[in-house]
């Protein structure tokens, strides 16, 4: 089965799967062994996607070739790629260490000097990538690995896109809302400045314990990226220039952000760059074996990170605002604007913990109204000798009734379907047309009280839109994004029962 490995399985007569490291929407990551070179490796197994799997593989080859040729001390190396039987796999460097998300969970916030060092090493990695025409587009704590010797390595360049530097249009952007740049949210292309913004978000979180912007909804976080003032950095201790560096990285204006590791070093007033070879990007000849990056599926089920690394962190999770957990657990897929969010209750994709020891942001919670009912606006009884009726206090307003929620959600489904059809002259994608049909079916099912079927049809629509995104045939408008974000809160969860919404609804009708 595509994307699912078996312990001890040998791929292409060479790569043995030893232990599962993680599972994500794109497939699985295994600790493995290269039996020819007798060295440990990380092996990613590609999960089957909608449409022809071979078409998907070909797209991935094209997108990841440049990234696989990038050789740099601060970039996780790609060794090989291939297809065997029913598996498509990517062989990468195995980093013994931990990612920054797990580091914060296990040990709390790192020392400011380590944060500054991470800033410099991360900047050198971005220098190398941008110099080779590659934009990462998904810089976040889970993709920054800290090796046992203190070396920082950026992974998952398979999500990168090489078109951003040469004017290509319609690129697909993948990322997480907590770290996404303003220009990506508003429909612009990812540029090197977008990666610098995301790195700034990571550095802020390392210093303050939470990302720079948190809210009780994905839309709220995105609006803050666009409109909110840059939050202050309070914990800089003995590293002059660190607070100002992070503030510059978080600038809404891409032109105001630093654009090189030299600028980062200058801002930190640190030493001149040592080991100039570490910034030298070696681009290797194209390998005979095609390269297949592992994209996160548009609606990948929230699961553990996809680490190419070994970790031994079992510390109790540190608290963070509830939405930060939900946000970290929701793979937010972005195409120009952010395209789709899948929020699932009770499951976390990324380490659900980083609200460090600095209580700078109180947990965002929905407080229940426990006070006595407020006096309702009742006309004062006329001064008559005998009392009329004893006014009974009205009940405290409750949540929106389910029927009203269903009506609102059904209207949103129909509106989104209509917007997709209106964009056909621009997009012209069969997948988008089919997605619109799915949305209409979801609205119909919701009107009939078949919530499980409605959820399944909605998720089917998002999978089709994901296919259109990956082939550059659909770029959502801000209005479409807002609808998708709202609908995903109501319908993005899996249907209950044995997994088939139609069966579930048929059973309920009997």
List active site positions: 138
Q: Would you put residue 311 in left (φ > 0), alpha (ψ -120 to 50) or beta?
A: beta
pLDDT of residue 257: 98
Please give the sequence-ordered ranges of beta strands (E in DSSP) within 353-398, or none if there are none.
Answer: none
Q: What DSSP element (H or E) covers 190?
A: none
In the chain, which residues have pLDDT < 50?
Answer: 1, 50-51, 162-175, 271-382, 384-385, 387, 396-400, 427, 493-510
| Token code pair at residue 50 | 């909608």
Query: What confidence score (pLDDT) does residue 3 get?
Result: 57
Distance separating alpha carbons of residues 100 and 140, to the nearest angstrom: 9
Nearest to 202 by CA among 268, 141, 293, 263: 141
pLDDT digits (tens, 9 = 90+) for 28-61: 889 999 999 999 999 988 765 544 555 556 655 6
Angle of helix 402-422 relative to helix 451-470, nearest 10 degrees?
Answer: 30
The answer to whether 423 and 453 are in contact (CB under 8 A) is no
- Report strand pairing: 95-99 vs 309-310: parallel
Closest CA to 214 of 367, 329, 362, 340: 362
Cβ 1 vs Cβ 276: under 8 Å:
no
Burial label, 262 (beta-carbon count in 10 A; 0-12, 13-18, 19+)? middle
Cα(402)–Cα(478) distance, rounded to whole angstroms?
27
Task: State whether CATH 3.40.190.170 applies to domain 10-92.
Answer: no
Number of residues that make up the chain: 510
User: By the 8 A CB rule, do 33 and 39 touch?
Assistant: yes
What pLDDT, on the 0 to 100 scale, is given for residue 270? 52
Q: What whole-number distance in Å separates Cα of residue 503 and Cα of residue 500?
A: 5
CA distances from 28 to 17, 48, 102, 144, 307 (A): 11, 11, 19, 18, 9
From 208, 238, 236, select the one nearest 109 (Cα to Cα). Answer: 208
pLDDT of residue 184: 85
Domain parsing of the chain, residue ranges: 10-92, 402-509
- End-to-end CA distance of the chain: give it in Å, rounded: 35
Tokens of 467: 């296919």
Instruction: Give the per-residue pLDDT at 311.
Output: 36
Does the pTM surpass 0.75? The reply is: no
Measure the CA–CA gap between 88 and 109, rounded to whole angstroms: 38
Q: What is the pLDDT of residue 24?
A: 66
Question: Which tokens in the block code for residue 177?
Answer: 């809302």
């Amino acid at each position: 089965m595509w994307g699912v490995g078996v312990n001890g399985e040998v791929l292409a007569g060479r790569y043995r799967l030893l232990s599962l490291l993680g599972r994500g929407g794109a497939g699985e990551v295994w600790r493995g062994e290269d039996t020819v070179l007798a060295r440990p490796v990380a092996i990613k197994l590609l999960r089957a996607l909608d449409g022809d799997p071979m078409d998907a593989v070909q797209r991935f080859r094209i997108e990841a070739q440049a990234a696989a040729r990038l050789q740099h001390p601060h970039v996780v190396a790609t060794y090989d790629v291939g297809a065997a039987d029913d598996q498509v796999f990517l062989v990468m460097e195995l980093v013994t260490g931990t990612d920054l998300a797990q580091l914060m969970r296990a040990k709390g916030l790192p020392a400011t000097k380590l944060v500054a060092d991470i800033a410099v090493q991360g900047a050198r990695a971005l220098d190398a990538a941008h110099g080779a025409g590659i934009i990462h587009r998904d810089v976040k704590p889970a993709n920054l690995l800290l090796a046992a010797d203190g070396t920082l390595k950026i992974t998952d360049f398979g999500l990168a896109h090489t078109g951003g530097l040469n004017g290509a249009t319609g690129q697909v952007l993948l990322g997480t809302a907590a770290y996404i740049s303003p220009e990506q949210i508003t429909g612009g292309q990812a540029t090197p400045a977008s990666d610098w913004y995301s790195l700034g978000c990571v550095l802020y979180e390392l210093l303050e314990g939470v990302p720079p912007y948190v809210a009780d909804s994905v839309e709220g976080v995105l609006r803050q990226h666009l409109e909110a003032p840059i939050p202050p950095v309070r914990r800089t201790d003995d590293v002059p220039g660190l607070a100002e560096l992070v503030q510059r990285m978080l600038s809404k204006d891409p032109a105001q952000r630093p654009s090189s590791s030299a600028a980062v070093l200058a801002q930190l007033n640190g030493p001149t760059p040592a080991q100039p070879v570490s910034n030298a990007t070696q681009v290797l000849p194209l390998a005979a074996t095609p390269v297949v990056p592992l994209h996160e599926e548009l609606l990948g089920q929230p699961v553990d990170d996809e680490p190419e690394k070994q970790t031994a962190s079992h510390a109790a999770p540190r608290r963070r605002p509830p939405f930060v957990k939900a946000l970290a657990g929701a793979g937010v897929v972005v195409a120009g604007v952010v395209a789709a969010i899948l929020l699932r209750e009770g499951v976390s994709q990324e380490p659900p913990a980083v609200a460090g020891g600095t209580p700078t942001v109180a947990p965002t919670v929905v407080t229940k109204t426990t006070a006595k009912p407020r006096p309702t606006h009742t006309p004062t009884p006329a001064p008559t000798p005998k009392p009329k009726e004893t006014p009974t206090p009205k009940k405290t307003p409750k949540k929106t009734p389910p029927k009203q929620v269903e009506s609102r959600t059904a209207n949103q489904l129909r509106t989104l379907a209509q917007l997709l059809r209106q964009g056909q002259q621009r997009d012209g994608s069969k997948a988008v047309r089919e997605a619109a049909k799915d949305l209409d079916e979801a609205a119909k099912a919701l009107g009939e009280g078949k919530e499980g079927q409605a959820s399944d049809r909605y998720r089917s629509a998002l999978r089709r839109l994901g296919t259109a995104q990956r082939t550059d045939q659909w770029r959502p408008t801000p209005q479409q994004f807002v609808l998708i974000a709202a609908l995903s809160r109501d319908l993005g969860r899996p249907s209950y029962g044995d997994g088939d919404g139609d069966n579930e609804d048929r059973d309920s009708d009997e």
